[in-house]
Homo-oligomer: A and B are copies of this chain.
Amino acid sequence: MFVLSNETAWCPGCGNFGILESLKNALESLNLEPHRVVISSGIGQAAKTPHYISVNMFNGLHGRSIPAGIAIKLANKALTVIVESGDGCSYGEGGNHFIHAIRRNLDITHIVHNNQIYGLTKGQASPTTARMQKTELQFDGVLIQPMNPISLAIGMGAGFVARSFSGDKTHLSAVIAQAISFKGYALVDILQPCPSFNRINTFKWYKDRIYYLSEDYDPSDILQARAKAEEWGERIPIGIIYRSEKPEYISENPVVRDNPPLVDLPLSPAHAQKFMDDFR
């Protein structure tokens, strides 16, 4: 169903390949139709993803994948909308949209290829680059603390917060599928090696540290989730860290809720004529 392109602009060994394939698996496992799926992406290496898979694409501006994605979903609630971009795009330039998208809790899936670096612009620190890591711009190392998107999302009240790893396609496919199925804003932060520019957080670095949340981990337990969210360093949990149903935006907004998809409504100037009475 979902066809992948043979040609990408990615480097050999890049984690993006695993994410692309897992996305395809997830979409297929959910039996979605390509023309009813839209990916809104920004600019960066991660943001090129929708070019390589057969779904609709809004490949907009760096940092702005979220607002476009939100509006696409609002305009046509029959579509499955995925917002997909890099850590720089999602948490740096797009940080304000990120936090406010969580508040809105619209039914979109936010996939972040978190390689802890700016890939496309050749290796500057991203908001998730580790303290003191040297980069192509921070020659003496990064001086500010990295953002923990998992705790931020949980702190802001997100209903679905997951972390996965590009190196485990089975896990990642399943997490993405669940995120898409979740009714509300769902964050999937994906550990993704960038062999070209991040020589610290390599495949092996991640592989050595990740562990899977146990079967009996209860993602609806907020206290446990907060504690898990803080785990980073020697051991990094992957899986659905927090999950709870919250009022989803479409089910709250009468204009979208009580109508067919807005794109399906016919337009007629005469409909507006009645409002003229306001000015008489």
Residue A51 interfacial (CB < 8 Å): no
Give the distance in Å from the alpha carbon of A147 to the alpha carbon of B152 in the complex. 12
CB-defined contacts of A154 to chain B, threshold 8 Å: 155
Q: How many copies does the complex hold?
A: 2
Contact with B along A207-247 (1 / 0, CB 8 A): 00000000000000000001000000000000000000011
Q: A147 is contacted by which of B99, B105, B246 (Cβ under 8 Å)?
A: B99
CB-defined contacts of A5 to chain B, threshold 8 Å: none
- Nearest CB of B to A63, in Å: 9
Question: Interface residues of A toward B: which range?
Answer: 20 to 34
Residue A144 interfacial (CB < 8 Å): yes
Give the distance in Å from the alpha carbon of A105 to the alpha carbon of B144 in the complex. 7
- Nearest CB of B to A246, in Å: 7
Q: Which of A12-20, A112-120, A249-257 contacts B (4 or more CB under 8 A)?
A: A249-257
Complex interface residues of chain A between 77 and 134 (CB less than 8 A to chain B): 92-96, 99-100, 103-105, 127
Assuming A99-B147, A105-B144, A226-B226, what are 11 further A-B pairs, CB within 8 angstroms? A93-B96, A95-B95, A95-B99, A99-B99, A100-B127, A104-B144, A143-B249, A143-B253, A144-B249, A148-B155, A148-B157
